[in-house]
Amino acid sequence: MRTALIVAALAVLLALPSVMKPYYVTLVLPALAYAIALLGFNLLFGYAGLLSFGHALFVAIGAYGAAVLSSRMGVKSFEVILLVSAAAAVSAAIPVALLAVRYVKIFFGILTLAFSMLFHSFLFKFYDLTGGDTGIRVLRPSLLGRDFASLDKTAFLVGPFYYYCVALLVVLGFLMWRLVHSPFGLHLVASRENRRKSEYLGVRVRFIRLIAFAISAFYGAVGGVILAINTGQADPELAYWTHSGELVFMTVLGGFASFMGPLVGAFTFVFLKSELMGATQYWRFWLGAILLAIVVLFPRGLVGLGQELWARARKQ
Amino acid sequence: MTAFFDILIGGVFHAAVLFLVAAGLQLVFGVQKIVNLACGSFYALGAYFGISAVNWAIAAGMPPALFLPVLVASGLVVGMIGPAIEVLLLTVYERDEAFQLLLTFALVLMFQDILRFFWGANPQQLGDLVMSYGKVAVGAVQVPTYNVLVIGASIAIAAGLGAFLKRTRFGRILRATAENREMALALGVNVRWIYASVFTLGTMLGTVGGALVVPTAAASLDMPVELVVEAFAVVVIGGLGSMRGALAGALIVGLMRAAAISWYAELEILSIYVVVIAVLVFRPAGLFGKPAE
Amino acid sequence: MSALIETLDVRKAYGEFVALDGVSLAIAEGEIVSIVGPNGAGKTTLVNLLTGLAAPTSGSVRFKGEDIAGVGPVVLARRGMARAFQLVHVFPSLTVAQTIAVAVVSRTGKAMSLLAAIGSDAAVNARVREVAEIFGLERKLHTQSRFLSQGEKKLLDIASAFALAPEVILLDEPTSGVSSADKHGLMRNVIDSARKAGVKSIILVEHDMDLVAEYSSRIVALQSGRVLADRAPADFFADPQIVAAIVGKRVGRLAKDAH
C-alpha cells in the first residue's frame, strides 16, 4: 500500500513540469528543498527525540555556501557546491552538537536556537562579508558539468534543475530510510525511549546523537542550497529563529512519528503558505491557527490522521 | 565621562525592562515548566496598547504628565488575556515539551497578525511625551527622569516579587508547586488556580514591560520576535527558572548591549550571543540555574 | 581463583557522610553472591561502585583486572557487565524483539552500521529469538513493550540484560513485584539461563532471605558501610548474631535451622 502511494507520488512529481504552469512548478522546488531538510531534521526530532529550535542554521549555511561559492568564488558545479556547503554545515554541527547533546528537552532547544541566532546576527551585521540584510546573490550552477545556457532562468529551474532535485530527494530519502532501519537507527530510538536503560544496554547515547546531528546538518544544508538556487539569493532571514520554528511546524504538520510525515508536511506547508499569502494579508494568523489546531487536535499530523482514517475504513 | 554615564543609564534602563519580561518567563517556567515563546508578543501587545491608552487618555483630557500610571494600568489590563491563553496551554501540560513550544510558537504567529490588524504595519510611538518628566541629575550627568522612574519601578517590582515568593503564603505554595506538583496536589493545593495565576502574573510582567518601554522606543511588528531573542539570552545567562538569574542576566545583557552599540555597533547582538554560548560552555546551568540532563 | 570483579578496601564518602568504610569483596567465576543488609547499610553505594556509576573516594574497584572507577554503564556493558533493575525499565514503543536487539547490536558491535537493515539481519534475529525463548517471551516478540504485563516487562528487562552476553550480571531485587508463588520459578529460570548464556558470576541484591539462602553460593552482609559477614549460606545462617543483625526474628525455615 505504502509503496504504491510512493510510486504514485513520484510519478506525479515527475509529470508536473509537463502539465502545470511554470509558476506552480517553481513552488514545488522549495517543497523539495524543505522535504530534504526535514528528513534530516526529523532524524533528530522524531527518531532521536531531540527538538532543535535552531535547525535553520544549517539551511542558512547551505544557502550562503551556494552563494559564496557561485558568486564570489566562481564555482559552477552544483555537485561541488552541494558537497562543500554540506561539509561546512557538518563542520559547524560538530561543535554545536558536542555542547548540545549533553542536554535534552528544553535546554537542547534553547542552545540550538542560540547558535542559529548567533549566525543570523553575524550574517546581518557584517555587511562587508555577508551582504548584511540584502544577502548574497546565488548564480545558476551547472548540473553534472552541463551548463544549459540555452535555457532561461525559469526554464532551467522547472526543467533540468527540477528533475535533478527530485532525484536528490529520492536518493537522500532512500539513504535516510536505510539509516533509520539500521542498527544505528535502533539504538537512536532506544536512546529516545529510555536513555538510562539504553546506556545499560550498551548504547553510546552521546556519540550517536552527535552523528545524528551531523547527518541532519548535511540534509539541512542540501535543502538550503536548493532553496538559494531557486530564489537566486541567500539572505539572513533564513537563519532567523522563526524559520527554525517553521521547520518544526512543517514536520509536525505532516507527522513527526512517521518517516513520510515530514515530506507530506513540507509539500503541504509550502502550498498552504502560498495560497494563504495570496488570499489574505493576515496569513500568519491563519498559519498560527492551523498549527494550534494540530497541536491541540491532531498531534500526529496529517499522516497520523490519514493512518487513523484508513484504519477506520478498513474496519468497515 | 558623560558618555559612560549615558551608556550606563541606557543599559540599566534596558535591563530594567528586560528584567520584567525575563521574570515573567522564569516564573512561568519555574512553576509550569513551559517556555513561553510568545513572551515577546505580550511585550509588544503591552507596548501598542499602552500607546493607544495614553492617546485616548490625553484626548479625553488627561494631563500628559500622568502618562506613566496610565501605561502601567494599561499593561495590567491587557495582561488579563493571561487566563484565556493559559486555558489553551491546558491541552499541552502533560505532553511532550515540543508541543508546548509549538503551541506558544503558534501564538507568536497569530499575535503577529493580531497586532497588525489592530495597529497596522507602521511603528507607533508616543512622541516627546517622555520629556514632560524632564531630566534629573545623576552624578555629573543629566538623565531623563522617566528612565530613572522605570529603573526604580523595576527594582521595586523585583523586590516585591522576591518578598512575595519568600514571605507570603501564596508565594510559598507557588514555590512548593514548582518543586513538586504531585505533592502539592496531594496536599490539597488548587494547582489549576496556581497555574492560571502564575501565567497571568507572567503575562502582566511582560505587558507592563512593553508598556513602560514605549516612551523611549517605538512599538513595531518586529518587537515580538526580536524580544524573544534577548529574553532567551537573559534567561540562559541567568539560568532557567531563577529570579536572581533574571536580574543578573538582564543586567549583563542590558549593559553589554549598551556598551556594544556605542563602541562597535556590528557587535551588538552578536556579543550577547557569544556570552550566551560562553555561559553554556563553562557554566551550563547559567549563573543561578539547574540544567536537566 | 582470581577474582572476576572485586573491590579493594573501598571507601565512599559524600561530604561528611561515609557510605562505605573499607569494603573488600572479591567475586570469582562460578559464584552467586548475594549482598544483603538493612536500608542505609551501603548496598546501593556498593552496587553503584561495582557497576561503574560512581568512583570510590579511596580504594579501587576492578573488573577483569581493570580499574572501573566511574566508567559508566555504557563502557561496562561493552566490557561484559550487565545490570537489571528493581524498577522495571522498558522502551515503551519498541517490541520485545527490538528491545533485545538493542543489546545484541551493542554486543556484536554493529551500532555504527548506518545502512545495514536490522530487520533482516539473520544473526541478530536468531540471537533475539534465542534469548526470548529462554525467558518464555517468544510468543510476544512483536508486541510493543508498553502492552506487556508487569511480569513480562520484568522478564524483558532481565532478558535484554542477558542479551548482552555479560560475564557478570548484577540483579537488583529481581523478584520484587513478582508474586510469592512465582519468585522461586523466576530465580531458577534466571540462574539456569545465566549458566546457559555463559554468565560467569551473578551478584544479587535481595531482601528476601529465603531466596538468598536457597540460591547463593555466598552471602555478603553489609552494616553501616562495613562488611559484617562474608560466608557461605550454611555458615551464615548458623551464626545467631549475624542472623539477628540482618534477619531479625523470623518465624520459618531459617529460624528453625538456626536453632
**pLDDT tens per residue, range A69-106:** 999 998 989 999 999 999 999 999 999 998 887 776 77
Give the minimum alpha-carbon distance from A75 to chain B in angstroms, rounded to a whole number.
30
Which residue does chain B place closest to A112, by CA atoms? B277
- The number of folded domains in chain C is 1
Residue A259 has pLDDT above 90, yes or no: yes
Give the minimum alpha-carbon distance from C151 to chain A in angstroms, rounded to a whole number.
18
Query: Does A64 contact chain B (CB < 8 Å)?
Result: no
> Chain A partners of C163 at a C-beta cutoff of 8 Å?
201
DSSP H stretches of helix in B79-218: 82-89, 97-119, 145-167, 169-179, 181-186, 191-213
Helical axes C150-162 vs C122-134, angle rounded to 10°: 130
Query: Does A148 contact chain C (CB < 8 Å)?
Result: no
**pLDDT tens per residue, range C142-180:** 999 999 988 888 889 888 988 998 999 998 888 877 777
pTM (2 decimals)? 0.89
Q: Identify the pLDDT of residue B133.
A: 75
Residue C256 has pLDDT above 60, yes or no: no
Q: Identify the pLDDT of residue A173.
A: 95
Which residue does chain A place closest to B292, by CA atoms? A103
**pLDDT tens per residue, range A114-166:** 889 889 988 887 877 888 888 899 998 988 888 888 888 888 888 899 999 99
DSSP H stretches of helix in chain A: 2-19, 22-42, 56-67, 78-100, 105-125, 127-130, 153-156, 162-180, 183-193, 195-200, 205-231, 241-254, 261-279, 283-297, 301-315
Give the minimum alpha-carbon distance from A226 to chain C in angstroms, rounded to a whole number.
25
Q: What CATH number does residue C18 fall under?
A: 3.40.50.300
Q: B273, A288: Cβ pair inside 8 Å?
A: no
Q: A114, B277: Cβ pair inside 8 Å?
A: yes
- Interval A279-308 mean pLDDT: 92
Say whether the C–A interface has 3 or more Cβ pairs within 8 Å. yes
Contacting subunits of B (3+ beta carbon pairs below 8 A):
A
Q: Identify the pLDDT of residue B6.
A: 76
For residue C221, tell me if it sits in a domain: yes
For residue C147, tell me if it sits in a domain: no
In a 3-state reduction of DSSP, which class is residue B144?
A: strand
Query: Does A194 contact chain C (CB < 8 Å)?
Result: yes
Q: Name the grid cell of A24.
A: 506552480
Q: Name the grid cell of C169.
A: 550480571
% helix / strand / coil in chain B, to the nearest 5?
A: 75, 5, 20
- Interval A16-34 mean pLDDT: 86
- Mean pLDDT across chain C: 84
CA angle A39, A44, A45 (to 5 degrees): 90
**pLDDT tens per residue, range B110-131:** 999 999 999 988 888 887 777 7
Q: Identify the pLDDT of residue B241.
A: 78
Q: Identify the pLDDT of residue C247.
A: 67
For residue B39, tell me if it sits in a domain: yes
Query: Which helix (DSSP H) or strand (DSSP E) does residue B137 occupy?
Result: strand B135-138
Across the interface, of A110, A117, A289, the residue whose CB is closest to B110 is A289
A189/B233: higher pLDDT: A189
> Chain B partners of A206 at a C-beta cutoff of 8 Å?
none
> What confidence tier does B290 reach under pLDDT thresholds 50, 70, 90?
low
Q: Identify the pLDDT of residue B135.
A: 78
Residue C243 is part of which domain span? 3-89+166-258
- Interval C67-85 mean pLDDT: 87
Query: How many CB pairs below 8 Å do chains A and B form together?
Result: 133
Of the candidates B213, B235, B224, the one whose C-alpha atom is nearest the C-alpha of residue B24 is B235
- Interval B46-52 mean pLDDT: 91
Q: Which residues pair with B124 in a beta bridge?
A: B219
CA distance B95 to B88: 13
Q: What is the ipTM of this complex?
A: 0.90
> What confidence tier does C255 reach under pLDDT thresholds 50, 70, 90?
very low
* For chain C, percent of residues with pLDDT exceeding 90: 13
Q: Which of A106-120, A207-221, A300-314, C18-32 has the highest mean pLDDT?
A: A207-221
For residue C128, tell me if it sits in a domain: no
Give the minimum alpha-carbon distance from A264 to chain C in angstroms, rounded to a whole number.
23
Q: In sequence order, what DSSP letters do the residues of chain C get, joined into one string?
A: --EEEEEEEEEEEETTEEEEEEEEEEEETT-EEEEE--TTSSHHHHHHHHTTSS--SEEEEEETTEE-TT--HHHHHHHTEEEE-SS----TTSBHHHHHHHHHHHHTT-TT-SSS-STT-HHHHHHHHHHHHHTT-GGGTTSBGGGS-HHHHHHHHHHHHHTT--SEEEEESTTTTS-HHHHHHHHHHHHHHHHHHT--EEEEE-S-HHHHHHH-SEEEEEETTEEEEEE-HHHHHH-HHHIIIII-S--SHHHHHH-
> Chain B partners of A103 at a C-beta cutoff of 8 Å?
284, 291-293
- Mean pLDDT across chain B: 84
Residue among C95, C102, C113, C118 with most chain A CBs within 10 A, to mutate: C102
Residue C257 has pLDDT above 60, yes or no: no
> Chain A partners of C101 at a C-beta cutoff of 8 Å?
183, 186
Across the interface, of A175, A183, A197, the residue whose CB is closest to C105 is A183
Residue B61 is part of which domain span? 2-225
End-to-end CA distance of chain C: 34
For residue B188, tell me if it sits in a domain: yes
Q: Name the grid cell of C53.
A: 556509576
**pLDDT tens per residue, range C4-27:** 888 888 888 888 888 888 888 888
For residue B34, tell me if it sits in a domain: yes
- The number of folded domains in chain B is 1
Residue among A129, A209, A249, A285 with most chain B CBs within 10 A, to mutate: A285
* For chain B, percent of residues with pLDDT exceeding 90: 19
> Chain A partners of B105 at a C-beta cutoff of 8 Å?
245, 248-249, 291
Residue among A179, A180, A196, A201 with most chain C CBs within 10 A, to mutate: A201
- Interval B135-153 mean pLDDT: 80
What residues 229-258 of chain B have any CB closer than 8 A to a CB of chain A?
229, 232-233, 235-236, 240
